[in-house]
């Protein structure tokens, strides 16, 4: 089995593919909004601390599970502990639920990129443009098909020739674009005398004014929830990628590099967006989150920049398109690899079948904005349509359940030493070993339980 298994050609290839998976829409449209909402530098400080402790624990655990079992998430948990196979089923259900709506949103990004390169940038900044697009019957489905097709093509090509090769090309380009846009954002002079540098100060300087313990608690919960989006844990991806990782390579070093790349891009996402939005729209502009920030607020910012705004907007949406594509590839690979390991399917069969399911479910989600439109109130108080329900089920319920179960499996059933032995199998030094044991047994399960209770509206 192991001799036939796809693998990354090198540790660097694994790091690039894993980082590319982690750097997705969650980093770009959710991180800046949360940072602006949660006291700027306060959120950044909390996020970095959690990334080095909580996030690191989940990330290295999943990669180690994958490498030790040489299986994707669907079968890895059952391989390590027969009675825990259900965790793999849940973990595999998450990317299956996410892929249809993620590709739909990727199609939205592709639509805006084409708008900026085809001379339609001014129209995209008009009120009602985004709503008009997503509520139309044909256009969103066309762009969904194009984005899903690109995703399926990369996964169809396999691990080394598809996922790794694309990551080696797109990840460096994405980093260059992110850095370039970030530098430009800092030089902006907007309306009312506001500047990009002032917006940057809002972003990085901690604001403790009026901050109670309850407020700080919610900042911690926000930062913890963001880590799920940022590092691709609890959705089977890192277990799957870990199964392709060479047993001779340094796992700790590679996970540290993934952690660094992801945190860097998350920080730079804020540098790209917050100074520009602040300069032209003030703090009110940062009240938009998710799609509202990317598809409504930012096009208005680009329009206010004049002619150069069209160029900057095109580059920005190209960068977002790359980030969305590399993430959607990892989401589909988690499902496809599970089908290969569990059912013995050929890769091409698994890709085609998963692509068909994703397309059908994606069309249903798309029609949720017109034919199947309804509004439902979720347990956390959010008013939702079909896409929001998919997102709530996968990200707010199943992901914490999988993460909590993983911590219990490692911390109390298999024992931390089982995973530590895999991490240090080549004699590597594991500097955070004691921290890891405490986190996986006690702190991480507690924090995850708080996150899950919040999803049910307890907090």
Dihedral, CA atoms, 231, 233, 236, 239, nearest 10 degrees? 80
Question: 1 pLDDT exceeds 80?
Answer: no
| Mean residue pLDDT across the chain | 93
Q: What is the mean pLDDT of residues 365-373?
A: 96
Q: At what angle do helices 165-186 and 251-281 cross, to 10 degrees?
A: 40
Q: Please answer whether residues 450 and 221 qualify as being in contact, where contact means their C-beta atoms are separated by less than 8 angstroms.
A: yes
Q: Inform me whether the pLDDT recorded for 110 exceeds 80.
A: yes
The tens digit of pLDDT for each residue in 149-183 reads 999 999 999 998 999 999 999 999 999 999 999 99
Number of neighbours of residue 288 by Cβ within 10 angstroms: 20
pLDDT digits (tens, 9 = 90+) for 54-102: 999 999 999 999 999 999 999 999 999 999 999 999 999 999 999 999 9
pTM value is 0.94
pLDDT in tens, 403-452: 999 999 999 999 999 999 999 999 999 999 999 999 999 999 999 999 99
Where does the pLDDT of residue 333 fall: very low under 50, low under 70, confident under 90, or very high at 90 and above? Answer: very high
The highest-level CATH class for domain 17-455 is mainly alpha
pLDDT at residue 416, rounded to an integer: 98
Structure tokens at 201: 């100060």
By the 10 Å C-beta count (0-12 exposed, 13-18 middle, 19+ buried), 322 is classed as buried
Contacts with 128 (C-beta within 8 Å, 6 or more apart), sequence order: none
Give the integer Cα–Cα distance in Å for 363 and 100: 8
Q: Which residues of 324-346 are buried (b: 16+ CB within 10 A; e: fewer)?
A: bbbbbbbbbbbbbbbbbbbeebe
**Beta strands per DSSP E along 327-432:** 376-377, 383-384
- The contacts of residue 439 (CB under 8 Å, 6+ apart) are 53, 54, 56, 57
**Local confidence band at 4 (pLDDT 50, 70, 90 cut-offs):** low
pLDDT tens-digit readout, 231-273: 889 999 999 999 999 999 999 999 999 999 989 988 999 999 9
Judging by DSSP bridges, how do beta strands 376-377 and 383-384 pair with one another?
A: antiparallel
Token digits for 263?
A: 């945190």
Q: Give residue 3's pLDDT.
A: 42
Q: Is residue 2 over pLDDT 70? A: no
Rounded distance, CA 111 to CA 321, Å? 10
In the 8-state DSSP scheme, what is residue 97?
Answer: H
* pLDDT tens-digit map of 375-401: 999 998 989 999 999 999 999 999 999
At 279 the pLDDT is 93
pLDDT in tens, 264-317: 988 999 999 999 999 998 878 877 777 888 999 999 999 999 899 999 999 999
CB atoms within 10 A of CB 195: 16
Q: What is the mean pLDDT of residues 177-204?
A: 93
Kindly report, residue by residue over 11-28, the tens digit of the pLDDT. Answer: 999 999 998 898 888 888
């Amino acid at each position: 089995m192991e001799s036939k298994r796809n693998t990354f050609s090198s540790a660097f290839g694994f790091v690039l593919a894993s980082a590319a998976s982690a750097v997705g829409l969650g980093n770009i449209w959710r991180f800046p909004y949360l940072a602006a909402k949660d006291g700027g530098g306060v959120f950044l400080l909390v996020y970095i601390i959690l990334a080095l402790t909580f996030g690191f624990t989940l990330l290295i655990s999943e990669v180690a599970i994958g490498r030790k079992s040489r299986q994707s998430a669907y079968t890895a948990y059952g391989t390590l502990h027969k009675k825990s196979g259900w965790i793999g089923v849940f973990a595999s259900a998450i990317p299956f639920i996410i892929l249809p709506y993620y590709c739909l949103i990727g199609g939205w990004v592709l639509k805006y990129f084409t708008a900026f390169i085809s001379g339609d940038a001014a129209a995209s900044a008009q009120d009602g443009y985004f709503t008009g697009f997503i509520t139309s019957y044909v256009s969103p489905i066309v762009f969904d098909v194009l984005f899903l097709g690109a995703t399926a093509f990369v996964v169809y090509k396999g691990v080394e020739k598809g996922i790794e090769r694309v990551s080696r090309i797109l990840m460096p380009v994405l980093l260059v674009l992110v850095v370039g846009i970030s530098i430009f954002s800092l030089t902006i002079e907007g309306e009312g005398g506001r500047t990009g540098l002032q917006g940057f100060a809002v972003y990085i300087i901690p604001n403790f004014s009026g901050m109670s313990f309850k407020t700080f608690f919610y900042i911690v919960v926000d930062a913890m929830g963001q880590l799920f989006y940022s590092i691709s844990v609890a959705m089977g991806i890192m277990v799957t990628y870990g199964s392709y990782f060479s047993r001779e390579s340094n796992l700790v070093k590679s996970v540290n590099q993934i952690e660094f790349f992801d945190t860097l891009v998350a920080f730079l996402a804020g540098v790209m967006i917050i100074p520009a939005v602040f300069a032209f729209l003030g703090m009110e502009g940062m009240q938009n989150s998710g799609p509202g920030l990317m598809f409504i607020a930012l096009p208005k910012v680009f329009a206010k920049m004049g002619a150069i705004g069209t160029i900057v907007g095109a580059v920005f949406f190209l960068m977002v398109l790359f980030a969305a594509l590399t993430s959607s590839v990892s989401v589909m690979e988690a499902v496809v690899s599970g089908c290969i390991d569990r059912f013995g399917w050929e890769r091409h069969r698994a890709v085609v079948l998963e692509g068909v399911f994703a397309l059908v479910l994606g069309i249903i989600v798309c029609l949720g904005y017109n034919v199947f439109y309804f509004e439902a109130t979720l347990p956390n108080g959010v008013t939702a349509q079909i896409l929001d329900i998919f997102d709530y089920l996968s990200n707010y319920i199943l992901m914490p359940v999988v993460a909590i179960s993983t911590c219990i499996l490692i911390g109390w059933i298999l024992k931390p030493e089982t995973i530590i032995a895999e991490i240090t199998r080549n004699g590597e030094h594991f500097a955070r070993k004691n921290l890891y044991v405490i986190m996986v047994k006690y702190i991480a399960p507690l924090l995850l339980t708080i996150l899950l209770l919040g999803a049910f509206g307890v907090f």
